Structure 1
Amino acid sequence: MSPAPPKPQAVSWASIPRKGQLAVIVFARLAEPLSERSLSSYLFYQLRWFDPSLSAAEIAKQAGYLTAVFAAAQCLTSMWWGYAADSPYLGRKPVLVVGMMGSAISALGMDFSRSLSMAFFFRFLAGALNGNVGVLRTMVSEVVVDKRYKARAFLLLPMCFNVGVIIGPLLSGFLADPVHSLPSIFGPGSLFGGKGGVLWMTKFPYALPNLMFAIILGTAALAIILGLDETHPQLRHQPDRGRRLGRLLVRRLLRGKADEYAYHPIHYDTSAASNARLSCDEVVETPANVCLTMLQRFLQSLHVSAFNSIFFSLLPAPRADQASFDLPFRFSGGLGLSSKKVGFANTTIGMIGLPLQLLLYPKLIGSIGVRNSYRVFLPLSIIAYVLLPYPVLLPDDVVLIWICLSSVLVMRVTSRTFVNPATVMLVNDCAPSPHLLGTVNGVASSISSAARILGPTVGGAMLGWGLSHNFVGLPLWVLAMIAMVNWIALLLIEHVKM
């Protein structure tokens, strides 16, 4: 009697293959939101530092424009970076290294910006040199070939976003203007400050957070060079001097004990893997589905980017006189939060999302599927957009404000947690060939960037108009309508079974 076949290994976080490679990808993805999302904690105050005469409405507009210029640069270049990553003359790794170093240089530039025009230049530079999101998504699909693990593997990138949202804004909120926010360390008569405080921190009050994140981005670039394998189908087996140096350093550090843990790549036929995926799902992509997939990507990025711009300008905006309000729709003002409290709001968002992604998402996706999770949880964003303006009506009670604000944010973050990975996987499955993964993700990144130009620009302008015309809820209610159209577009997609 032949022995029973072994049971297949259960799918879990511990069973995901190629953890070392995924760790480098995760670190590379984490470094960018640490830097990018940190701006939201102090951007309002940095713009006011550029020009103290600006009103809250004008600052909201400028914040939207500054967010949009980054997306505009990405829109112009993401497709070309995706094409470069697919080219056998360049590959995935060099594109990632350029992106990391470009982000580090722009962060250093923001360190010492003293005008809006300088800030615009360095934000444009950051977007123009960075096509990393699409390339990292491509590499995840090439590192983890087994489809059983893909839902968890693709979840790692948005998880990094949430970790960045937790750490980045919290750190930058405390480190911004350190002479005043940390006077015992950097202020006059302090440990490092001397008689008048740290001089360069007084001259450039928002340099310290960016300096720290530039170092992290540079470290991530080094980790890619030394620790990440090239995954381009035509380049993966070619000699890699960076990896050779990385392995040499590991052997030196571990005194030769690393050989028994060395990774030996498994060779597989990518075209066969692609055909297996198609035959398993029994689907052939149609141009209409590809277009609808890109449309949902555009709409999702549109209302998410607009929300981030509006929300983090609304939090520090001064409170308004409630005598002029005409409820339930005509009211104005923000919550008047400091940079530290804005950073804490960012951290709250990340702390809500991270346990959902780690504990609930894998189990729920296994039972209802990726696309159904998108359908079920997107309406929570619609509800959150409708309710979010109303906390500005609350009395100036810290506990009450945070309870109500957190309750609405739970809906928004829950929606984002279950929707964002689905948008990535839907786009990834649009690729007609594994050799075009980088290009497809580059096109999707350009489309997403176009939405992130429009969202913050229009959202910031609408918020500025709403603050001036006693109608501050209007931009968020418009986002609710856009999210509704996003949901309808999703229902029309006849996509791959996931």
Structure 2
Amino acid sequence: MTMSEKTNIPTPLWSPALPEHRGGVSGFHRRHTSLVPPSPREVFDSRPSTASEPDSEASGPKPQAVTWMSLPRKDQLAILFFSRLVDFLQIASLQAYMFYQLKSFDPGLSDAAISSQAGILQGCFTGAQVCTAVLWGKAADTWGRKMVLMIGLVGTAISCMGYGFSTTFWQAALFRAFGGAINGTVGIIRTMVAEFTKEKKYQSRAFLLLPMSFNVAGILGPVMGGLLADPAMTLPGLFGDQAAFGFQWLKSYPYALPGILNAVFLATTGVVVFLGLEETLPSARGQFDDGINLMNRIKQSIGFGTIVAPIDYSHLETSTDSLENFEPKSITRPTANKLPFNRIWTKNVIFTLITGAFFDFHLGAFTNIWSLFLSTPRPTSNDSRSLPFVFTGGLGMSAATVGFATSILGVLGMALQVLLYPPVHARLGTLLCFRFFLVLFPIAYFVAPYLAVLPSSTLAPAPAAGPTIWIGIFFVLLLAVSARTFTLPATIILLNNCSPHPSVLGTIHGIGQSVSAGFRTVGPVVGGIWYGQGLEKGAVGWAWWETAVVASAGCVTAMWVYEGGGHEIFLEGEEDDMEEVEMQGLMRYNQREREEWVYAERQELMGQMGGSTSLDLRDMVDDEVERGAMAGGSKGVSLEFRRSLALK
């Protein structure tokens, strides 16, 4: 028995033919996994096409290509974009001056000791994230996403402020650890992006916003940190002794200004989140929100808006004999059950996390090894060289040149993300993009050390230079950035869609953030150890090739990853709830389609009347259109009636 038969509602010819009730709803299960009733637009966009729609291609709406402007909830996605941007900005800016700030704590420390302290500081932040990410994910599934995001932004702002005014290494380490422990923003932002863009066709662009914010912050952060650190020296015209902003406290705390600015950015974004971001937790959606209400009052007071009552859903009667007699009826929200923690560990979740662990490990290792390799002095003698595997030394570049070479990463990443990623993803899909471009990582890592043996226009120990060197650098970075551009958004999408139940989506992202932070902490440390071992053995490629092996292992485990639907485990009573929700959505869709058809058909027939004002004729048109609607669409308006109308 079909859904239409079960409700005694005739299915119009413009309505999608429905498969069997129990088996056919799976299409909607895949497209709308929230326990909140879908909007008519969502049902219309997600309705299945079947062979029983012979005229669907000719008369139905054609699917439009997804563009940036077609993304749903752009206002909410913009808030999430800036939340991720300011969150990573404080990390990127810190990397530019961390070495010099640590040097100011104890000028007698050697460069090697300072490098060790810098590694510890980075580990404090990510290590603390490892310990608390799952807890923040669970908190987001209980308190709500918005609350956890605000706590993370404001808490990180306090951390940045404290770090800027630190005068000892242990003070700095304490504030970095506090910032990492309270920062659960990455998983929460990913969760909310997924919940604002339920349809998979939007995910490729929506999730691309996160790595885009990463690249933008990676370009702006070091510039901001480098200029504002010790401003009396870097910008004496503004912050010098005789300048307008030459305050004494800037000399006492020369590295406070970047921290203050980062804190302002984070706190301001926290306020924007409070006032403008909507809650997406299914069990809390639609509830009164103090921030949204305050923002509406502010808009009303300045004349830019009015207070809008919360939108609720209504239930359309399902036991009538015709579509024209629907009566509104209140509906209770389906119960949002919670999947137990021990049931989230499906095979897909496990392999998605394992593949993500390999991914984050070799990305972290690459970042560290790349900067070390560019800075390592070139050997003055090649007597011990025995190609293809025994050779040593780096490119011997200065810090400024290393910074320029690294900035190529961000420029290439932005270009590829904006121009190339959307069409390629639309053609290949998320999973194929992920598996195909993962292969580029081990290739890039394998060929990278051979930059040391390319011909240079300068003699060692001078820094390597010349067109061959820079073409080689560009080629290696093109491979690495292409791989990262196409796989990083896919890892977010696959992690999001591997969730076995909507109630644990925040928990899944929290676990994913914990795994990511852990392996991004371990990767640089192990990569540095491998690099040192390679230099001792006279084989600088040792670290690169070990990293390539890890990346290859990730390619293998990716073969067991599949793109889930976000709702693979149904708890007691949920299938009935979902069927009821789908029924309501389909009836709203049928009613809306009927109203649109009636209006269009009436306008067309009225046009054939040639401006006649006869009330009887208009009544005849109305009656015929209504009869045609109940008969099943345009075929119900007889050709004889059209001809007679033309004659009249």
TM-score by length of 2: 0.67
CA distance in 2, matches of 1:251, 1:9: 36
Query: Is residue 344 of structure 2 the alignment partner of residue 291 of structure 1?
Result: no
Taking a change above 3 Å as real, the CA distance of residues 77 and 202 of structure 1, as seen in their structure-2 partners, is same
Hey, what does 1:310 align to over in structure 2?
369
CA distance in 2, matches of 1:182, 1:399: 33
Aligned 8 A contact 2:395 2:464 in 1: no
Hey, what does 1:277 align to over in structure 2?
none
One-letter identity of the residue aligned with 2:392: F
RMSD in angstroms over aligned alpha carbons? 3.3
Taking a change above 3 Å as real, the CA distance of residues 44 and 265 of structure 1, as seen in their structure-2 partners, is farther
CA distance in 2, matches of 1:28, 1:135: 11
SS in 1 for 2:439: helix
Higher relative contact order by CA 8 Å / sep ≥ 6: 1 or 2? 1
Query: Is residue 492 of structure 2 the alignment partner of residue 424 of structure 1?
Result: yes
Taking a change above 3 Å as real, the CA distance of residues 213 and 479 of structure 1, as seen in their structure-2 partners, is same
CA distance in 2, matches of 1:479, 1:492: 21
SS in 2 for 1:234: coil
Structure 2, unpaired ranges of 5+ = 1-12, 15-57, 315-331, 338-343, 567-648
Query: Is residue 209 of structure 2 the alignment partner of residue 156 of structure 1?
Result: yes
Hey, what does 2:398 align to over in structure 1?
337
Taking a change above 3 Å as real, the CA distance of residues 290 and 239 of structure 1, as seen in their structure-2 partners, is same
Aligned 8 A contact 1:319 1:392 in 2: no
One-letter identity of the residue aligned with 1:170: V
One-letter identity of the residue aligned with 1:337: S
CA distance in 2, matches of 1:105, 1:115: 17
Hey, what does 1:165 align to over in structure 2?
218
Aligned 8 A contact 1:170 1:344 in 2: no
Alignment map for 1:66-215 (pairs within 5 Å)? 66-87=121-142, 90-187=143-240, 192-193=245-246, 199-215=248-264
| Displacement after TM superposition at 1:49 (Å) | 3.7
Hey, what does 2:88 align to over in structure 1?
33
Hey, what does 1:411 align to over in structure 2?
479
Structure 1, unpaired ranges of 5+ = 275-284
Aligned 8 A contact 2:150 2:273 in 1: yes
CA distance in 1, matches of 2:259, 2:451: 31
SS in 1 for 2:353: helix
Candidates 372, 375, 380, aligned match of 1:322: 380
Aligned 8 A contact 1:65 1:456 in 2: no
Aligned 8 A contact 1:293 1:426 in 2: yes
Query: Is residue 110 of structure 2 the alignment partner of residue 65 of structure 1?
Result: no
Aligned 8 A contact 1:57 1:465 in 2: no
Aligned 8 A contact 2:238 2:244 in 1: yes
CA distance in 2, matches of 1:469, 1:188: 52
- Percent identity over the alignment is 39
Aligned 8 A contact 1:378 1:415 in 2: yes
Hey, what does 1:280 align to over in structure 2?
none
Query: Is residue 425 of structure 2 the alignment partner of residue 388 of structure 1?
Result: no
| Displacement after TM superposition at 1:158 (Å) | 1.4
SS in 2 for 1:322: coil
Aligned 8 A contact 1:270 1:434 in 2: no
CA distance in 2, matches of 1:421, 1:469: 38
SS in 1 for 2:66: coil
Tell me the alpha carbon deviations over residues 390-431 of structure 1, each in whole angstroms, 9 at most, x when there is no partner: 556754366656554333222211110001111111111111
One-letter identity of the residue aligned with 2:216: V
| Displacement after TM superposition at 1:186 (Å) | 3.0
Aligned 8 A contact 1:165 1:346 in 2: no
Hey, what does 1:440 align to over in structure 2?
508
Aligned 8 A contact 1:73 1:127 in 2: yes
CA distance in 2, matches of 1:50, 1:463: 28
Aligned 8 A contact 1:64 1:309 in 2: no
Higher fraction of helix: 1
Taking a change above 3 Å as real, the CA distance of residues 224 and 351 of structure 1, as seen in their structure-2 partners, is same
Candidates 431, 436, 445, aligned match of 1:371: 431
Candidates 246, 249, 265, aligned match of 2:295: 246
SS in 1 for 2:198: coil
Taking a change above 3 Å as real, the CA distance of residues 330 and 259 of structure 1, as seen in their structure-2 partners, is same
One-letter identity of the residue aligned with 1:119: A
CA distance in 2, matches of 1:325, 1:19: 61
Tell me the alpha carbon deviations over residues 21-69 of structure 1, each in whole angstroms, 9 at most, x when there is no partner: 1111111111111111222223333334444455554444433332222
SS in 1 for 2:434: helix
| Displacement after TM superposition at 1:82 (Å) | 0.2
Hey, what does 2:570 align to over in structure 1?
none
| Displacement after TM superposition at 1:118 (Å) | 2.2
CA distance in 1, matches of 2:71, 2:309: 15
One-letter identity of the residue aligned with 2:284: L
SS in 2 for 1:39: helix
Candidates 17, 39, 63, aligned match of 1:8: 63
Taking a change above 3 Å as real, the CA distance of residues 158 and 164 of structure 1, as seen in their structure-2 partners, is same
CA distance in 1, matches of 2:335, 2:414: 35
Aligned 8 A contact 2:378 2:394 in 1: yes
SS in 2 for 1:165: helix
Hey, what does 1:361 align to over in structure 2?
421
Taking a change above 3 Å as real, the CA distance of residues 226 and 286 of structure 1, as seen in their structure-2 partners, is closer
Aligned 8 A contact 2:83 2:269 in 1: yes
CA distance in 2, matches of 1:16, 1:117: 46
CA distance in 2, matches of 1:291, 1:265: 38
SS in 2 for 1:37: helix
CA distance in 2, matches of 1:202, 1:182: 13
Count of aligned pairs between the two proteins: 477
Aligned 8 A contact 1:170 1:347 in 2: no
Taking a change above 3 Å as real, the CA distance of residues 495 and 241 of structure 1, as seen in their structure-2 partners, is closer
Aligned 8 A contact 1:60 1:463 in 2: no
Tell me the alpha carbon deviations over residues 215-273 of structure 1, each in whole angstroms, 9 at most, x when there is no partner: 111111111101100111111111111111122223334x13x349x797575999899
Bigger Cα displacement from structure 2, 413-422 vs 33-42: 33-42
CA distance in 1, matches of 2:499, 2:120: 33
Taking a change above 3 Å as real, the CA distance of residues 201 and 310 of structure 1, as seen in their structure-2 partners, is farther
CA distance in 1, matches of 2:438, 2:426: 18
Bigger Cα displacement from structure 2, 19-28 vs 401-410: 401-410
Aligned 8 A contact 1:61 1:463 in 2: no
Hey, what does 1:493 align to over in structure 2?
561
Taking a change above 3 Å as real, the CA distance of residues 206 and 451 of structure 1, as seen in their structure-2 partners, is same
Taking a change above 3 Å as real, the CA distance of residues 313 and 417 of structure 1, as seen in their structure-2 partners, is same
CA distance in 2, matches of 1:362, 1:273: 34
Taking a change above 3 Å as real, the CA distance of residues 239 and 286 of structure 1, as seen in their structure-2 partners, is closer
CA distance in 2, matches of 1:263, 1:371: 41
| Displacement after TM superposition at 1:495 (Å) | 4.5
Hey, what does 2:596 align to over in structure 1?
none
